[in-house]
Amino acid sequence: MDELTHLDKNGRIAMVDVSGKNLSRRFARATGRIRLRPETTAMITAGTVAKGNVVATAELAGIQAAKKTAELIPLCHTLPLENILVRVELDDSGASVAAEARCTGKTGVEMEALVAVSTALLTIYDMCKAVDKTMDITDIRLEKKTKEDV
């Protein structure tokens, strides 16, 4: 079993020291889902949700959140994000969110992708909570991460 990397030799919280690592190209893709009533999905598609454009707002919220990951997750490193892409796709039973993050850095961007997905889903929830009491956020997961030498 791997050791926990956020604890020092005395069991105290510690940020991982990446100062000696080489830069590499990093990529991560995360996904998640929110179940919605068909009527709610229809309202989103028609643009009749009172709070505004749900898809555009959720995608923008995910982008903004990815850029704030190090402020939200205490032991995450601040990364020079080069790209964050967030997409919301609607279907009859709800919405799927996918986020991709890229940077050239010393540590991975999986937390940024996961925070983007989570925030986009929470934004959909917030914008639709007045019309749908059955919403269910589910299946948030890291799908892929890569590291390539520079």
Domains recognised in the chain with CATH numbers: 24-145 (3.30.70.640)
Residue 33's closest CA among 144, 143, 136, 134?
136
**pLDDT value, residue 89:** 98
**pLDDT value, residue 1:** 47
Residues 105-129 pLDDT 10s? 999 999 999 999 999 999 999 999 9
Q: Mean pLDDT across the stretch 76-99?
A: 97
Catalytic residues: 126
User: Are 41 and 92 a contacting pair, CB within 8 Å?
Assistant: yes
**pLDDT value, residue 128:** 98
**pLDDT value, residue 4:** 65
> Mean pLDDT, the chain, as a whole number?
95
